[in-house]
Amino acid sequence: MSTWGATADASARRTPRTAGVGLRLPHLAEVVATRPRVAWFEIHPENFLANPHACELLQEVSQHYPISVHTVGISIGSTEGIDRVHLARLRGLVDALEPVLVSGHLAWSTHQGAYLNDLLPLPYDDETLAVVAAHLSEVQEGLGRRYLVENPSSYVGFGSSTMTEAEFLCELVRRTGCSLLCDVSNVYLSARNMGYDPYQFIDALPVNAVHELHLGGFTSEPDEATPGGEVLIDTHAAGVAEPVWELYAHAVRRFGLQPTLVEWDNDIPPFTTLAAEAIRADEVATMTQKDSRALAG
Ligand SMILES: [Fe+2]
C-alpha cells in the first residue's frame, strides 16, 4: 500500500463537496473575465500543456477557484509503459496549479509511441491488474500525490476477463492506495450497453475510496447487437439524462457528498448551460441527503 493518505487528506479538506464544471478552451477567456459563480473547475492538462497563452489564463483561474486535473494522456493500461516525458510535464503543471484532485481513466490510449484519440478497454484479469497497478504506482510516485482512477464507458467485454470491473477497481485500490472517480454516466451507459444493473455496480465499489463523481451526456444510436437495440455512446455532447440523475442520487446515498463534475466536451453550449447543470447536481445531492437524514431519523 502506498502512503498517499496525508496528501489526499490535505486535498480533501480543500475540495468543495459540491458540483463543478469542466473548463474547456472556448470558455476560458469568459471565465477569466467574468468569474462566474462556480465552485470549482476540472481541466484536461493536455489542452493546456502545448498552449502557453491558455496556460497563463489557467494560472489566473487557479488564483480564484479550486482546480482538478483530469488527464486523458496517461495511458495506465498500456503494456508499453508510462510516457515519462509526459508524466514529467504533468508534474510541472500539477506543481504550478496545486490542484485539489488529479485523475485519469482506467484505459489505454497509446500504441508504439503514438497517442490514439480514444480511451480503449482492458480485459479484467490478473495479468492486466499487475500491469495497471505497477503503472498506477509509477504515476502516483511521479506526481507525488494520490491519483483517482475513473471507470470507463464500455461497449463490449472481453471473454478472457476473470473479474468484474468493480472487483478490478477494488483490487487496484487495495494494491496501490489510489482513489476512485465514479463516472455515474459511464456506469449507466456501460450497464445499458452490456446488460447489467448499474445500481449493483455502484453498490460494489469500495465506499471509502470514491472521492469524486462525474456526470456527462451521451448519444443513442441503433445497434442490433446490443441489448435493447441501441448503443449509448459517451459523446459528452448533451445534458445529463434523467435516469442518470436518479443513479446520481443513489451514488450520493452510498458515497455521501463528493465533488461532482459536469462534463461537456462536444457541441459545447454557452457557459450558463453548464453552470445550470452544476446547480441541478447540487440540488439533487442536497435533496438526497435531506431525504436520507429524514429516513434515518
Ligand atoms: Fe468522466
Instruction: Please report the pLDDT score of residue 4 as a whole number.
Output: 57
Per-residue pLDDT tens over the stretch 255-297: 999 999 999 999 999 999 999 999 999 999 999 999 888 888 7
Mean pLDDT for 17-25 is 94
Position 111 pLDDT exceeds 90: no
From first CA to last CA, the distance across the chain in angstroms is: 38
**Residues of the chain with pLDDT > 70: what percent?**
91
Position 9 pLDDT exceeds 90: no
Lowest mean pLDDT among 14-23, 144-153, 252-261: 14-23
Instruction: Please report the pLDDT score of residue 124 as a whole number.
Output: 94
Distance in Å, CA 23 to ligand 1 centroid: 13
Distance in Å, CA 216 to ligand 1 centroid: 7
Instruction: Please report the pLDDT score of residue 90 as a whole number.
Output: 95
Distance in Å, CA 215 to ligand 1 centroid: 7
Beta-carbon neighbours within 5 Å of ion ligand 1: 183, 214
Distance in Å, CA 290 to ligand 1 centroid: 26
Distance in Å, CA 70 to ligand 1 centroid: 9
Distance in Å, CA 35 to ligand 1 centroid: 24
> What confidence category does residue 110 fall into, taking pLDDT thresholds of 50, 70 and 90?
low
Per-residue pLDDT tens over the stretch 46-90: 999 999 999 999 999 999 999 999 998 887 887 788 889 999 999
Instruction: Please report the pLDDT score of residue 75 as a whole number.
Output: 77
> What confidence category does residue 168 fall into, taking pLDDT thresholds of 50, 70 and 90?
very high
Instruction: Please report the pLDDT score of residue 117 as a whole number.
Output: 61
Instruction: Please report the pLDDT score of residue 76 as a whole number.
Output: 85
Locus of grid cell 494560472: 59
Distance in Å, CA 139 to ligand 1 centroid: 19
Instruction: Please report the pLDDT score of residue 223 as a whole number.
Output: 86
Instruction: Please report the pLDDT score of residue 154 as a whole number.
Output: 86
Instruction: Please report the pLDDT score of residue 7 as a whole number.
Output: 54
Per-residue pLDDT tens over the stretch 138-150: 999 999 999 999 9
Q: pTM here?
A: 0.92
Distance in Å, CA 167 to ligand 1 centroid: 19
Distance in Å, CA 78 to ligand 1 centroid: 19
> What confidence category does residue 225 fall into, taking pLDDT thresholds of 50, 70 and 90?
confident
Instruction: Please report the pLDDT score of residue 112 as a whole number.
Output: 63
Query: One-letter amino acid identity for 166?
Result: A
Distance in Å, CA 166 to ligand 1 centroid: 16
Distance in Å, CA 44 to ligand 1 centroid: 11
